[in-house]
């Protein structure tokens, strides 16, 4: 975990009240030897209205920054703000994949999941899928390429070759199956005619398969150095046109 001048750096996450109480929370973090580097506040009660955290942009972006910068996430009012044990457990498991922690309360206690991912009963296989979906969305926003060695080899090679595949757990049966690997964005330096098909496929995957909003997808593309055909930064509207097959600038 990274630190600055001996202080543990944190991403602060909760409902919008955290912005109004930022000074108070900064003081609590400081007294615990920590420093809040960024804060994300979602609409109050949003986690109660959504079964899937990928629908809450602030959560996805906060976890993405934590993974990018190798820092923990602090939720001062865990149950008050999130309202569901499964939301907290999913964030814990996603962060744990990268050696990071979810901290909660005024004492910044490290949260522990009730058993590891491998111990989740197979009757709750939808939980495995939900964790994977949240992890994929976070990775996408962080601009991290989720590539296996086989995918890297396929990208480096030329000519006819079978598409790379990855192994995952099938939610309905619990079986380990092979599925096509997720798409990756093209080099941002190629010609538009070469980039557009891969870029459109990548954007469709983020929006339709991962549940990332078009606005968040635009931020992902911009963070990867991608630009529209006219050289402008991506916005939600231009992402929509890209996905719909209308590549006009």
pLDDT digits (tens, 9 = 90+) for 177-235: 555 556 778 888 888 988 899 899 888 888 887 777 888 888 888 877 889 999 999 99
pLDDT at 205: 83
Is 128's pLDDT higher than 90?
no
pLDDT at 40: 95
**What mean pLDDT is predicted for residues 80-98?**
86
Q: How many whole angstroms separate alpha carbon 93 and alpha carbon 109?
A: 16
pLDDT at 171: 45
Q: How many whole angstroms separate alpha carbon 216 and alpha carbon 222?
A: 10
Lowest mean pLDDT among 121-130, 164-173, 232-241: 164-173
Q: Where in the chain is the domain with CATH 3.40.50?
A: 3-124
Q: How many whole angstroms separate alpha carbon 196 and alpha carbon 187?
A: 11
Q: How many whole angstroms separate alpha carbon 64 and alpha carbon 229?
A: 27
The percentage of the chain sitting over the pLDDT mark of 90, rounded to a whole number, equals: 29
Instruction: Show Cβ contacts of residue 156 under 8 Å, excluding neighbours closer than 6 positions.
Output: none
Q: Are 111 and 103 in contact (CB under 8 A)?
A: yes
pLDDT at 249: 47
pLDDT at 165: 52
The strand ranges marked E within 115-227 are: 165-169, 176-180
Q: What is the pTM of this model?
A: 0.50
Lowest mean pLDDT among 124-128, 169-173, 224-228: 169-173
Pairwise pLDDT comparison (150 vs 28), residue with the higher score: 28
Instruction: Show Cβ contacts of residue 162 under 8 Å, excluding neighbours closer than 6 positions.
Output: none
pLDDT tens, position by position, 6-44: 788 999 999 988 999 999 999 999 999 999 999 999 998
Is 1's pLDDT higher than 90?
no
Strands 72-75 and 102-104: parallel
Lowest mean pLDDT among 103-107, 142-146, 183-187, 221-225: 142-146
Lowest mean pLDDT among 59-63, 167-171, 199-203: 167-171
Name which CATH class applies to 3-124. Answer: alpha beta
**What mean pLDDT is predicted for residues 106-123?**
62
pLDDT at 96: 86
Write the burial class of residue 156 (CB in 10 Å: 0-12 exposed, 13-18 middle, 19+ buried): exposed
Strands 176-180 and 3-4: unpaired
Pairwise pLDDT comparison (148 vs 128), residue with the higher score: 128
pLDDT at 58: 92
Pairwise pLDDT comparison (79 vs 164), residue with the higher score: 79
């Amino acid at each position: 975990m990274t630190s600055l001048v001996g202080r543990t750096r944190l991403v602060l996450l909760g409902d919008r009240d955290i912005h109004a109480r930022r000074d108070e929370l900064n003081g609590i973090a400081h007294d615990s030897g920590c420093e809040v580097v960024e804060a994300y506040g979602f609409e109050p009660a949003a986690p109660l209205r959504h079964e899937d955290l990928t629908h809450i942009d602030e959560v996805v972006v906060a976890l993405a920054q934590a993974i990018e910068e190798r820092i923990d996430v602090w939720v001062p009012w865990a149950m008050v703000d999130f309202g569901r044990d499964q939301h907290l457990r999913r964030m814990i498991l996603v962060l744990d994949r990268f050696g990071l922690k979810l901290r909660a309360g005024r004492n910044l206690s490290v949260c522990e999941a009730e058993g590891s991912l491998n111990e989740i009963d197979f009757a709750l296989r939808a939980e495995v899928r939900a964790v994977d979906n949240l992890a994929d969305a976070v990775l996408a926003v962080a601009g991290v390429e989720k590539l296996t060695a086989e995918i890297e080899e396929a990208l480096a090679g030329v000519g006819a070759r079978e598409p790379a595949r990855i192994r995952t757990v099938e939610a309905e049966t619990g079986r380990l199956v092979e599925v096509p690997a997720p798409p990756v964005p093209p080099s941002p330096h190629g010609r538009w005619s070469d980039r557009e098909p891969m870029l459109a496929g990548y954007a469709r995957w983020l929006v339709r398969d991962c549940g990332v909003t078009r606005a968040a997808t635009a931020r992902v593309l911009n963070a990867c150095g991608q630009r529209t055909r006219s050289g402008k930064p991506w916005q939600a509207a231009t992402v929509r046109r890209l996905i719909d097959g209308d590549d006009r600038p």
